[in-house]
Structure 1
Amino acid sequence: MEFDLLCSLALMSAASQLAEKDTYEAGTLRPLVQTYTQFLEDRVVQAREQVSGHFAKNGVTVPSVKEAIEQIQKEQQFERQDTLAEYFTLQGLLEEGKASEYVLNLFLCLVFSGGHAECTLVGVDLVFRWLRLSTAKKQNLIFATWSYGAFERKNMEKFIKSVDSQWFKKQETPLQNRKNIICALLKRQLSLLANGATSASKERQVSICKEQLLFLLAV
């Protein structure tokens, strides 16, 4: 699931960036996908190295997860921005070090999936997905997000409004999870692209987002 999600994010990001250009040159998609993939892989590996010793020493607890997120924020220097469509792809992260809360939580999930705890993304109907961490010892579930830190469920539910009382459970297969995540990011892009003046570049981006959505909904 981890590799597939990473590749899906890279492909979506490359398609969106290429749609900005007036002309498409054959053979440009693959190297751009590889650039995004390598960028994200490198950053995930760096962040894992930063927190691996921390978790080995302190275990996976609410305080230790909160400290790990703060450590990653300090070292990676990523910033939250939700205002533009590219912040719901990897483009903003690669070019400016900025991304939406949704994308930053995906990054954290890839980092924390490297051992010490099982990590997945939950909350299909939430504004952005939260990380759900559980350890082999079956301790209390931990929920985390880039901007707000880590919480036990009873405390983090103050931040959300969900009509689904089972939002925190893993109810999707890995394929459904990945598909729903990419669809959510594409929908956010479409929503933001609808704002402001239209342009040929924006129309192409809207078109490629819709094409990807239709493909994902059909499979």
Structure 2
Amino acid sequence: MHPTLDVTLRTADALDRPGRDLALDLSAVMFIVSCGLNALLVLRHRIGLDGGILELGHLPDPALRLLDLTGTRDLFTLTGPAPTPRDGVLAGAGDPVRSLRSDPLRVPGGRVQAPQVMVRAEAGGVRVVVCSGEFDLDTTGLLVDACDVRPVPAGLLVVDVRQVAFGDSSFLNALIRLRNTRHLVLRGPLPSQLHRMLEMTGSLPLFEVRDSTEQAG
């Protein structure tokens, strides 16, 4: 486990406050990399399962850019005023710094959406797996198990991702493994966060994506 994630989870466990909101003041954080974002996502998930909300206060602009790039901004509740740049930090020579926060007071984020997977069979040996909610390392197995249920049809596997609120790298890895072992189609349109992750990782061209109005098969 990465040290950043380990410290975050041990801190969360020490709080022992199920069903309560948790506010993190991140005003002293200079930047956040992917492992830090992953730690926040895991923490949000743990708190959300107990009905609480994770609030991130005073995020610096580089961290907000990371949330935007990964499509995860809407998952978090953002609080506090936008940071004030000092000594030209975060800006080029003579360039003004523009805050990426749309609301300087409080921007509510979405609550944790429990993952659900439903399977149905269609004509011509087509298996449709409908995914909804949020998928991470702990829950992506639901998708894998649904696709591996026997008997595996010889025809098409359609994974309907239209209602996926969030999918992390483990969800993407599962889709890639499925794509490499059978004829796979993603039923879209793709949610913005998932589409952005596929674009950022260069994996979008690997998948056949069909709009829900198109006929599968």
Mark yes or no: TM-score above 0.5.
no
Structure 1 or 2: larger strand share?
2
Structure 1 or 2: larger helix share?
1
**TM-score (structure 1 length as normaliser):** 0.31
Specify the structure having the higher radius of gyration (Cα): 2
**TM-score (structure 2 length as normaliser):** 0.31
